[in-house]
Amino acid sequence: MSDRDDIADQRRKKLKLITFSKEDQSLVESEKPQETFRDVGGLEEVKKKIRMNFILPLKQPEIFAAYGKEAGGSLLLYGPPGCGKTFLARAVAGEIDANFLHIELQAILSMYAGQSEHNLHDIFEKARESKPCVIFIDELDAMGGSRHQMRQHHDRMLVNQLLLELDGLQAHNEQVFVIGATNTPWYLDSALRRPGRFNHLIFVPPPEEAERETILELKLAGKPVEALNLARIAAETKLFSGADLEQVVKDAVESAMERTFESGNIEPITNEDLKKAAKSRKATTLEWFATARNYATFSDVNKDYQTVLDYAKKHGVK
Ligand X SMILES: Nc1ncnc2c1ncn2[C@@H]1O[C@H](COP(=O)(O)OP(=O)(O)OP(=O)(O)O)[C@@H](O)[C@H]1O
Binding stretches for Mg ion (CB under 5 A) = 85-86
Minimal distance, residue 112 CB to ligand X, in Å: 23
Q: Report how far residue 263's alpha carbon sits from residue 3's, in angstroms, rounded to the nearest whole number.
A: 47
- Identify any residues that bridge with 135 across adjacent strands, giving them in sequence order: 101, 178
203 and 311 Cβ atoms separated by less than 8 Å? yes
Considering only residues 149 through 208, tell me which ones interact with ligand X, judged by CB under 6 A.
181, 183, 207
Determine the interface stretch with ligand X among 49-57, 82-90, 229-237, 254-262 (rule: CB under 6 A): 82-90
Of all helices (H) and strands (E), which one includes residue 278? helix 271-279
Smallest separation (angstroms) from ligand X to the CB of 266? 25
* Contact of 288 with 81, CB cutoff 8 Å: yes
Which residue in the set 27, 76, 83, 253 belongs to the binding site for ligand X (CB under 6 A)? 83
Beta carbon nearer to Mg ion, 204 or 234: 204
Q: Which residues contact 248 (CB under 8 A, 6 or more apart)?
A: 216, 233, 237, 240, 274, 277, 278, 281
Q: Where are the beta strands (DSSP E) in 20-125?
A: 30-31, 73-78, 99-104
CB of 183 to ligand X, least distance (A): 5
Per partner kind, with CB cut-offs from 5 to 8 A, the member of ligand X, Mg ion, none near residue 55 is: none
Among 42, 72, 144, 205, binds ligand X (CB under 6 A): 42
Smallest Cα–Cα separation from 105: which of 80, 85, 123?
A: 123
Instruction: Provide the mask over 200-229, with x wherever binding to ligand X is found by CB under 6 A and - wherever it is not.
Output: -------x---x---x--x-----------
Which residues are near ligand X by CB under 6 A?
40-43, 81-87, 181, 183, 207, 211, 215, 218, 242-243, 246
